[in-house]
A = this chain, B = another copy of it.
Amino acid sequence: MSENKSVINFTRGVPADESFPIKDMIEASQIALEKYGTTILQYGKSFGFLPLREWFAEQHGISVDNVLTANSTLQIIDFLCHQLLQPGDVAFTETPTYDRTITLLKRHKAEIVGIPLEADGPNMEALEQALIKQVPKFFYVIPDFQNPTGLTYSLEKRQKLVNLAEQYGFWLIEDAPYRPLRFRGKEQPSLFKLNPTRTLNLFSFAKVIGPGLRVSVLHGQAELLAKIAKFAEDTYICPAMFNMGAAYQFCVSDKLPGQIDKLKALYAPRLQACLDAITQLLPDVEMTRPQGGFFLSLTFPEGITTAAVLERAKTYNLNLAPGQAFFPNGGGERFLRLPYCAMPPEQIHEGISRLAAVVKEELGIRNL
């Protein structure tokens, strides 16, 4: 190991700095201020900037009352928890799931039940068994290019899931920030499309324009959204209108399709580099094979823990994230999330090489 090795971070799921459409955002900000300056610099409704909501409603063939915008998806999840959960109430998540949602659910003193995630979606037997025991207030899911695994639900499981939500009477919170970033394979319908009355769909501009905007969108039942809007008003009067104006102008200038194409062209080779390097250098490690999004995940062989790998990796200037934070009910000791978007393919290859060296050393210790 050389002391001079540059640091490689496989830690947070952040977009690549070079992905941001800075020039288009300058133009969008200027036009938004010229056309809507007195609206986007003024107080607005807690539902958010109306033209942006109307644009989304039109895109999805729904009413504007079914669209609420807010400062980030996590804040919407917090609002939903305030609205839907009392302390001790049950919420389902996938196992593993997005760590920040687990943190929020714990803050709301929810009893979290994790449903094991398979390559094509939740384990349906486990889900049905859990439902027989107790019906949750909601099931928080990420059906497309899931965080932290990169996995995507099959059509069959999507259909089954919305049927169960209907049958047992619980909400599906469908977090879908990665959905537009499909590099290959066939897109499946969103849960919201399959059942708009039981699904609360979350979209974000974080992964398609930039997270610094903090503009996210909730699609769902109008009556529930009106309650969320009242709670949001009491929390911050209205979300940030200025950035919503810029995001809206970016969308109506028809910049989004081109930006998404650009992102796919940038990120697809990075996913491929990651898959290739793991196949080549880490043959004993179990991996997911995503078709898009920001992440793939590994499971180390028995006897090797992520904690040990993470610690040893530091000596290689390789930063990894602990796996257990993604597991609501324990487990994940051998789990590793690999976010690949923020690095060029060469750096990904180098990072996986270092990881392979670390794993080899750990295997050596195990076999002593």
Interface residues of A (CB under 8 A from B): 12, 14-15, 17-18, 20, 22, 25-26, 29-30, 33-34, 37-44, 71-72, 74-75, 78, 100, 103-104, 107, 206, 209-215, 234-243, 245-246
Contact = CB atoms under 8 A, between A and B. Distances in A.
B237 A41 contact: no
Nearest to A31: B26
B26 A213 contact: no
B41 A25 contact: yes
Residue with the highest number of chain B CB atoms closer than 10 Å, among A43, A206, A212: A212
A213 B34 contact: no
Given A42-B15, A44-B212, A236 B74 contact: yes
Given A17-B38, A20-B37, A78-B235, 17 more contacts: A12-B43, A14-B42, A20-B41, A25-B33, A25-B41, A29-B33, A39-B212, A42-B210, A71-B214, A72-B237, A74-B234, A75-B235, A212-B241, A212-B245, A214-B236, A214-B239, A214-B242
Nearest first, the 5 closest Cβ-Cβ pairs linking A and B are A41-B210, A212-B241, A22-B37, A29-B29, A214-B240
Contact of A41 (B33, B211, B240): B211
Contacts of A26: 29-30, 33-34
Contacts of A71: 71, 214, 236, 239-240
29 contacts: A14-B42, A17-B42, A20-B41, A22-B37, A25-B37, A25-B41, A29-B30, A29-B33, A42-B211, A42-B212, A43-B211, A71-B214, A72-B236, A74-B236, A75-B235, A78-B236, A104-B234, A104-B235, A211-B238, A212-B238, A212-B241, A212-B242, A212-B245, A213-B241, A214-B239, A214-B240, A214-B241, A240-B240, A242-B242
Nearest to A234: B103
Contact of A74 (B25, B74, B237, B245): B237
Contact of A33 (B12, B22, B33, B214): B22
B235 A213 contact: no
A279 to B, nearest CB: 30
Contacts of A211: 41-43, 237-238
B75 A41 contact: no
Residue with the highest number of chain B CB atoms closer than 10 Å, among A14, A18, A211, A236: A236
Contacts of A18: 38
B240 A213 contact: yes
A15 B34 CA distance: 18
Given A37-B20, A210-B242, A107 B42 contact: no
A91 to B, nearest CB: 16
Nearest to A72: B236
A29 B27 CA distance: 10
A214 B238 contact: yes
Contacts of A245: 212
A78 B42 CA distance: 21
Contacts of A39: 212
Contacts of A33: 22, 25-26, 29
B236 A212 contact: no
B29 A41 contact: no
Contacts of A25: 33, 37, 41
A294 to B, nearest CB: 12
